Amino acid sequence: MFQIVGCQWWLETLILVALGIVQIYSGIKRFSGLWIGVGVLLIVLPFVHLWAAYRVFQMHTGPVYGAPWTPEEPTSGDRPPMIPLPSPFVARTSSSSSDASPATPPPPPRKRSLGRDGWAGKYDDGQGVIVHLTIPPADSLRQREIAAPFAGLPKVGLVGVISVNNRSPQEVTIDTATAVLHLIDGTQTFAPNPWQGAASDTKLSAFRPPYRVGAGGKLSLGVLFLPGDTDLASLDHVRLTLDGKWADVR
pTM: 0.54
Structure letter (DSSP) for residue 181: E
Q: How confident is the model at residue 17 (pLDDT cuts 50, 70, 90)?
A: confident
For 54-69, how does the pLDDT look when each residue is reduced to its tens digit (9 = 90+)?
666 566 554 444 445 5
Mean pLDDT of the 220-236 span: 91
Instruction: Report which of residues 70 and 236 the model is more confident about.
Output: 236
For 103-160, how does the pLDDT look when each residue is reduced to its tens digit (9 = 90+)?
666 554 444 555 567 899 999 999 999 999 999 998 899 999 999 998 888 878 899 9
Contact by Cβ (8 Å): 131, 247: yes
User: What pLDDT is attached to residue 232?
Assistant: 92
Choices 1.10.3470, 1.10.3720, 2.60.40, 2.20.25: CATH for 113-249: 2.60.40
Domain locations along the chain: 7-61, 113-249
Average pLDDT value over all residues in the chain: 79
Residue 34 C-beta-side C-alpha neighbours within 13 Å: 0
CA dist 238 and 177 (Å) reads 12
User: What pLDDT is attached to residue 215?
Assistant: 95
